[in-house]
Amino acid sequence: MRRIVLTQIVVAAPEDVFIFFVPQWMPYWYGPEMRSSFETQGCGGPEFRAGSKVRISGRLATRTFSHTAVVTAFENGRLFEWRFEDAYGVRGSERWEMERLENSSGARTMIRFTNDCEVPGRFGRVIDWLLTRHALARRNRDYLNELARLAERRP
């Protein structure tokens, strides 16, 4: 299993960052190039909670995709984690942890994003080592940058 850990400092309070961790807002920063939608089951409301199932579907270029994630940890304003598996057998988890950083210029948030992923089969592991891990790290960095841009209300 491969692990990618990235951090991002956001010039906004954790509460202002975490408002983007709801099904209605995540498509704007989490893979906006995919024109995705998030359908929740078992939430009991407009927000995630531990145990919620999330069906993520969308389109990337000419390919349609869909996979299901299960929220495994959720602490409002601090932590969001889900586990996923797609139709090709790729499985893993993504975890976002937010930590408040205070200084004289105001509240900031440090986001720690951890992505664990496993590609099935020997050929899949070779392709992952050669190509996918680099592309995935770049994509994850783009997600964090877009989340920061939105939370900081930058154009």
pTM score, whole prediction: 0.84
The SS3 assignment for 51 reads: coil
Tokens of 44: 């009991």
Range of the domain at 73: 2-151
Return the half-sphere exposure (C-beta side, CA atoms, 13 A cut-off) of residue 46. Answer: 5
Encode pLDDT of 68-120 as tens digits.
899 999 999 999 999 998 777 888 999 999 999 987 778 899 999 999 988 78
CATH number at residue 42: 3.30.530.20
Query: How many domains, the chain?
Result: 1
> Are 15 and 32 spatial neighbours (Cβ–Cβ below 8 Å)?
no
> Are 117 and 92 spatial neighbours (Cβ–Cβ below 8 Å)?
yes
Query: Is the confidence at residue 121, as pLDDT, over 60?
Result: yes
